Chains A and B, each alone.
Chain A
Amino acid sequence: MIPKVDRGFFLSLLPFAAIIFALFALLAYVLAHESWPALERFGISLFTENVWRPSERGVEFVKYGLLAPLYGTLVTSLIAAAIALPLSVSTVFFMEEMAPHRIRELFSSVIDLMAGLPTIIYGLWGLEVMIPLLRGWVMSPLHEHLGFLPLFACDPLSGASFLAAGLLLAVMIIPFMHGVIKEAYRQVPRTYKEAALSLGATRYEYFRIMVSLIRPAVIAAVLLGLGRAASETVAVALVVGNAFNISPCLFAPGYTISSLIANQFTEASFFPLMENVMFAGSLVLLALGMLFSGIGVVMMRRVRELYGR
């Protein structure tokens, strides 16, 4: 029971806290409500078919299936996480264990700065700097020499592609994953580090023991990173190519749910059901985001339980 003197203060804060939950509930409700017409009309085929046939003539002429943007979201996020994971884990280890104090502080600030940059900056950089380099030095050679592999089979036309989006997303989620892993790493009590080293572990063996000690946090970082990558919008829209395309080739242009919404929303009101389809897409993002964050939070709690802080 709250003491009487504090009750007034408690009651005055309550609405502010409650507002946040109410807003979230409202958001989820609106997404579900607005998606409903599209879900009702197309059913499961909205997520299993690749069709984008808007029409101004009437509801009966339109047909939508979000499979291509769903596929693109999945592929670009996975590429991003696959690149960002080893980089962030090894950066954390390097900075926490090997880098001199000053360099660690400098790097730390730079990485925190990277996490806070407006994403449009990454998008522009990706479009103007990364894509030309990637196309000239990575995509074209790979296509020329290893073109028989389905991954590299297609000609990198403009360079805007799954690979470009995945790589850019990797750059964008590294600071974030790095932060999650670093926090966990710093929670590991020194006595475990001493125990590992006292067993005669080399640097590499020590690294493996340390990573195994924070494995839940690494999983959390991957999930939260995937969630971030899937929801990133403008930067991806600039480099992914924006084509309804399902292809195993990394150099082919594609779409993601977020970039689709960003690109098409301005015109969506002219076409029947298009807005509802986009809401359905964002509903999927919301569900995935909640799932990933949920598991991530549980994993981080496990780290805290293990190391009691």
Chain B
Amino acid sequence: MIEEKGYALQIEGLNVWIRGKHIIKGVGLEVPKRRILAVMGPSGSGKSTLLRAINRLIDLIPESRVEGKVLVYGTDVYREDPYRVRRLMGMVFQTPNPFPNMSIYENVAIGPKLNRLVKNKEELDELVKWALEKAMLWDEVKDRLDDPPHRLSGGQQQRLCLARALALKPKLLLLDEPTGNVDPVNAVKIEEALRSLLRDLEITIVLVTHTPHQAVRISDYIAFIYMGELVEFGLTDAIALNPKHELTVKFLRGEV
């Protein structure tokens, strides 16, 4: 792995309240560039909220309040226009959500079009192909790019969503339990795709998962979140082999 200076993601003293409820409680962590951070914890522990605080989708929720600092490749997320901030990042959601009114091709093309990443149709075609290849979907859809996405299986749809996010050439890729609603074969494909991304690209990944196995299998760093608090954060090997906190031990054993 190539060593890069500086951090891809820095979070300092992050607190989030939604309707007066304290969801994220003083979380702070730092992830170097070109690494995978797995955010793990039981459901309802605030993982998804943490992710949405990074790309400011949290703004969508009325009566939400955020305190603290989030830096993505040095950009202060809460001092910049939200749409500029989001253009640094891509996101894949828990349930596959390709736009139902657009074709497979259009689903991937929409991001680059919005962000004016391409000058002409050829470049766009090229980028769409590239993104679908990176998401390991190209071979399966190259002959039916104009089909609506609902003709694809759930796992293929999820890889389509990965391609849609990648087409933006994001520096930070956020994934919210991307394999939660996907069959095991597709789950493996998505994990493979993520690892090869890290090999080939200048990209950093934050993956939210509630399965400790996936976290250990795929990540370089683990953040364990419980009831909105960061219980433990560190290198994956260290946490997997020698967890310091009793809760982490329990979670890794599947007891929490």
Contacts and interface: CB of A to CB of B under 8 A. Distances in A.
Interface string A290-305: 0000000000000000
A306 interface: yes
B164 interface: yes
Contact of B86 (A189, A197, A212): A197
Interface string A207-232: 00100110100000000000000000
A101 B164 CA distance: 32
- Top 5 nearest A-B pairs (CB, nearest first) are A200-B87, A198-B91, A200-B86, A191-B97, A199-B111
A202 interface: yes
B240 to A, nearest CB: 30
A4 interface: no
B165 A198 contact: yes
**How many B residues are at the interface, by size bracket?**
20 to 34
Interface of A: 101, 189-203, 205, 209, 212-213, 215, 306-307
Interface in B83-139: 83-84, 86-87, 89-91, 93, 95, 97, 99-102, 110-111, 114-115
B108 to A, nearest CB: 11
A192 B99 contact: yes
A306 B100 contact: yes
B114 A101 contact: no
B20 interface: no
A200 B102 CA distance: 18
B216 to A, nearest CB: 27
Nearest to B176: A194
A213 B100 CA distance: 8
B93 A194 contact: yes
B80 to A, nearest CB: 12
Contact of B60 (A197, A199, A205): A197
B19 to A, nearest CB: 12
B209 interface: no
Contacts of A197: 57, 60, 82-83, 86
A197 B82 CA distance: 9
Contacts of B110: 199, 209
A13 B196 CA distance: 65
B5 to A, nearest CB: 26
Given A195-B91, A197-B86, A200-B168, 8 more contacts: A191-B95, A194-B57, A197-B82, A198-B89, A198-B174, A199-B115, A200-B111, A212-B101
Interface string B170-212: 0000100000000000000000000000000000000000000
B99 A209 contact: yes
A198 B60 contact: no
Interface string B129-166: 00000000000000000000000000000000100110
Nearest to B87: A200
Nearest to A212: B101
